[in-house]
Structure 1
């Protein structure tokens, strides 16, 4: 009898517990339905992207591989193209991918906290990257200005850094890495058809609209899948950096006899062709920089191969220079005049576009305004987002029309001070040393080639810091940056820590 009473009570309590769970689920479902219904009726792309990313993120949180695939495919092939066709979502297209990036960062951080073995095998540059992130947050909180400035600044800086931490702290097997590398090569090959389409269709349209938008440069729209708008600027320089990085990987693998010559002859022209369709003048600096790093050893061992490559590079630079004159030269200026003009708005007194400052003057201006007479701002900056002109950062509002955040270097100095700038540079320097250690220790030609190519890419990123703002703002090139560092961390764990 007592046994029957006990069984009855247990079953009754179990039924009661199940009913409570059922009611909680129903109540939560109703609330979620109402919430997402409210999201839908707002017709706000940011809110809708947030809602979709929230649902998808919860489903994908159990499988980071899917999150990475979504980030790579949407970030490199979709978000850059949407604003060109749907101009009203210019600044909102990347929000869903950014949220996935933050979700991936959360998963990676949880992984490193609970696993001591993961922490032990982490290369130094990843720890420095984490220190930089924590410093940026703590420094901005200490110099608090507004919640909007902080959140938008944090989102721009770190929206995809989860990719770096995930590749370092979450286990991915060699086959998954292989497929991601194949996909990145596919993205590189896809730049040519999209660049051709933009050159043939959109450049003439923008030329017809130019009188309405005097600051618009029609040829800027030739940026492949990296992003452009119908009436604004384009990420043609970011596409160029990406393509030169891919070229570095191909040449390094050919150098190590991993990639056969027939594939090199097939891929290289497709990779180089988009560089001739746009107007990225920095190609004439970035291409030799990449070549010198990839083939630096040949200068002493096989000089004739190095000279052949150098001659080819110079011929391509000459062709690119005349392609630029053909693409963007409504005044009919000579090559010498265009060079003098370029030097003027990069290193002399002429401002960049309609801005007061240019790429060199913006650094001099920072020293003048934030020198040792203001030591706090000099060493620690003014907080994330403070120099961002488009969103109205509180420092940018002091200097309207100056363009104090023109480059990543000036933005880092204004936002995070000399200390934050040095931390960011230290990430690249430490990553270079890690790649060099990998190159020396590995016996696999493919890994050795990738280590050399990564060093070339790091040099291009260092150049980009003083050339553009992209590494701190634009999603597509940030994916390339964090993916490359994450791949280096994965190689370090697999081929250095295990030896």
Structure 2
């Protein structure tokens, strides 16, 4: 089976099949399949007869790279920090194995893309599959909005609308992951429209169908993601086309404000929340208040989780401060291996990738991961300006940069970059595309 077919299989399992099964039955074990696919591809790549030649080619080509070659080095270093932390903390073997699945296995896709054949055709198909998944959210989203939400005792859509990305009808789920994919799919449509691969009518229709489910799910972070994308687009085009960049910004900013006002009218005024001050207290203060704690969900606010980590570790053993307590130590919810540190507290301490990595891998591990996200986004945007890439190659690295930009903006918002297979698969494949583009011109072929 070809690499691109395996990646597409993993993508549809992670974004459609596994989440739908979890939502209907409560079984979430199918989410393991994409992770083990990444691990399997590592072994298959090493088992290839021409592995030595492929690896030697990568080493020769890496010598011609610029700063992009350090991303792979940082990724390996981050993995070593995590393993060192686990060994130093003498964590249970099962805890290490389960956490390694979430942290490491998916990156096998990146290695496989460097060692095996990955073409422009494969790239085009993958980003098309992202749009397909975004559009396919409509049946699930409409069912959840019209049937599930009214059944909820709180009659709220907070995390109730998750599409096919997994969750519980009576609780939360991966609504943010669905919204992030909606943003990425919209970016795919816009970039292909700019490349004259889509007509204006088709682009408008696909863009609306892709992005709307994120708004229906009431994911407020979608405004931050869109703003981040607009800022990057402005910077990217400011030098070459300053007037066009400025004109676009002047048009888009009022549009976003209009969407925000309409959003308030539809989702908040109808529910009795009439003022912006009330919206701030209910939706924004939770994220930025360092003392916020939810009694209902037994969970710290996002900033509160970081403040709590600092309070517990500022005077602790320097080894734990800088290297953490080992892989999976903060995992609050697990059917097989709850974290050793998480067991100490009656509430969740891993509300975001930032808080999870600080507990598990310390300041050094969390810092390395943050640098990997940022440097990958920067490298992608720099590569998109190079002339040796094909149109599909340039579009690919731009979209890869967008994936890392959105995960960077979400670092303190949720755990998707360290715990949601659909987002992690896009991250791993995006890094493979970036490193491939940095090594050599994009290859054309099936």
TM-score where L is the length of structure 1? 0.78
| 1:260 matched residue in structure 2 | 199
| 2:56 matched residue in structure 1 | 116
Using the alignment, how far apart are the partners of 2:236 and 2:56 within structure 1?
Answer: 39
2:286 is equivalent to residue 345 of structure 1: yes
User: Cα deviation per residue 1:309-352 (whole Å; 9 max; x = unaligned)?
Assistant: 2222222233333333268x3x5453430222223311223214
| 1:151 matched residue in structure 2 | 97
Using the alignment, how far apart are the partners of 1:182 and 1:456 within structure 2?
Answer: 15
Give the 3 Å change call, closer, same or farther, for CA 287–367 of structure 1 in structure 2.
same
Using the alignment, how far apart are the partners of 2:10 and 2:187 within structure 1?
Answer: 23
Q: Aligned match of 1:194 in 121, 140, 143?
A: 140
Q: Give the Å deviation of 1:380.
A: 0.5
2:218 is equivalent to residue 275 of structure 1: no
Task: Kindly indicate whether structure 1 or structure 2 has the higher relative contact order, using CA contacts under 8 Å at least 6 residues apart.
Answer: 2
**Equivalences for residues 67-82 of structure 1 within 5 A:** 67-82=6-21
User: Cα deviation per residue 1:128-172 (whole Å; 9 max; x = unaligned)?
Assistant: 223322332233123222112111111122242222222233222
| 2:160 matched residue in structure 1 | 221
| 2:435 matched residue in structure 1 | 489
Give the 3 Å change call, closer, same or farther, for CA 390–296 of structure 1 in structure 2.
same
**Equivalences for residues 136-215 of structure 1 within 5 A:** 136-205=82-151, 207=152, 210=153
| 1:428 matched residue in structure 2 | 373
8 Å CA contact retained: 2:377, 2:402? no
Give the 3 Å change call, closer, same or farther, for CA 148–479 of structure 1 in structure 2.
same
8 Å CA contact retained: 1:84, 1:229? yes
Q: Give the Å deviation of 1:237.
A: 0.8
Aligned residues: 425
Q: Aligned match of 2:387 in 439, 442, 447?
A: 442
Using the alignment, how far apart are the partners of 1:101 and 1:440 within structure 2?
Answer: 30
Using the alignment, how far apart are the partners of 2:330 and 2:174 within structure 1?
Answer: 21
Partner-residue secondary structure (3-state), 2:268 = helix
Q: Give the Å deviation of 1:225.
A: 1.7
2:30 is equivalent to residue 93 of structure 1: yes
Give the 3 Å change call, closer, same or farther, for CA 78–65 of structure 1 in structure 2.
same
Using the alignment, how far apart are the partners of 1:389 and 1:470 within structure 2?
Answer: 15
Using the alignment, how far apart are the partners of 1:323 and 1:130 within structure 2?
Answer: 47
Report which of the two structures shows the higher radius of gyration computed on alpha carbons: 1
Give the 3 Å change call, closer, same or farther, for CA 178–120 of structure 1 in structure 2.
same
8 Å CA contact retained: 2:82, 2:327? yes
RMSD: 2.7
Using the alignment, how far apart are the partners of 1:322 and 1:484 within structure 2?
Answer: 37
Q: Give the Å deviation of 1:372.
A: 5.1
| 2:268 matched residue in structure 1 | 325
8 Å CA contact retained: 2:400, 2:433? no
User: Cα deviation per residue 1:102-140 (whole Å; 9 max; x = unaligned)?
Assistant: 111333456776621123335432332233223322331
